[in-house]
């Protein structure tokens, strides 16, 4: 597994890869202290391109706002954003981050594919 996952290894036990897409790789994991099962999305090369960076920040902001709505059962709950420690005096950009979310039984594509309007 990619060494960037070491950033979260003190907090989460990674189980298996459950998906990948345009914005990253998703794994199932378990919070070590609480034993809560979660999905963790690794987003690499987050801010190399201004357009892609805006899309990623928008996704995070939308999920954060929807996660704060009581009774919201339509979207995944965002628990945390984890960024690696970076040297602020360096010119090296923030290259990746992790989104910690509820783990779901299926993804949106599966739900929409199987959803029938009556």
The total of structural domains in the chain comes to: 1
DSSP H/E element including 114: helix 108-114
pLDDT tens column, 8-55 = 999 999 999 998 877 789 999 999 999 999 999 998 887 788 888 888
- DSSP E strand boundaries for 5-110: 12-20, 25-31, 37-44, 78-82, 96-102
- Identify whether the C-beta of residue 76 lies closer than 8 Å to the C-beta of residue 64: no
User: For residue 103, what is the domain's CATH number?
Assistant: 3.30.200.20
Domain extent for 73: 3-114
DSSP H/E element including 51: helix 50-67
pLDDT tens column, 44-62 = 887 788 888 888 889 889 9
pTM here is 0.80
């Amino acid at each position: 597994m990619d060494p960037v996952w070491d950033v979260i290894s003190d907090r989460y036990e990674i189980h298996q890869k459950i998906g990948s897409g345009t914005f990253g790789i998703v794994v199932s994991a378990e919070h070590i202290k609480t034993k809560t099962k979660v999905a963790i999305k690794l987003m690499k090369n987050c801010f190399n391109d201004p357009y892609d960076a805006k899309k990623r920040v928008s996704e995070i902001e939308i999920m954060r706002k929807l996660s704060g709505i009581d009774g919201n059962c339509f979207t995944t709950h965002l628990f945390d954003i984890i960024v690696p420690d970076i040297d602020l005096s360096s010119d090296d950009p923030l290259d990746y981050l992790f989104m910690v979310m509820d783990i779901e039984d299926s993804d949106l594509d599966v739900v929409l594919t199987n959803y029938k309007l009556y």
